[in-house]
Amino acid sequence: MEFILNSKIIESEKKDKIKNAIILLHGYGGDGADISSIAYTWKRFIDNTVFLCPDGHQTCKLNPVGFQWFDLSIDDENYIVAEVRKAEKILIEYINQIKEKYFLENSQIILAGFSQGCMMSINLGLISDDSFKSVIGFSGKIINKSDLQNRISSKTDVLLFHGDADEVVPPSSLLEAKDFLERNKIKVEVKMLKNCSHHIPIEALSLALKHIKKII
Per-residue pLDDT tens over the stretch 183-216: 999 999 999 999 999 999 999 999 999 999 999 9
Mean per-residue pLDDT for 151-165?
Answer: 97
Q: Is 150 left (phi over 0), alpha (psi -120 to 50) or beta?
A: alpha
**75 or 19: whose pLDDT is higher?**
19
pLDDT at residue 108, rounded to an integer: 98
Domain ranges of the chain: 7-215
- Residue 39 Cα distances to 50, 82, 173, 208, angstroms: 9, 30, 26, 12
Q: What does the pLDDT average to over 42-67?
A: 95
Label residue 171 by pLDDT band (50, 70, 90). Answer: very high
Q: Provide the CATH topology of domain 7-215.
A: Rossmann fold (3.40.50)
The reported pLDDT for the residue numbered 73 is 86
For residue 79, what are the CA distances in angstroms to 76, 85, 86? 5, 10, 11
CA distance 203 to 201: 5
Is the per-residue pLDDT at 15 higher than 80?
A: no
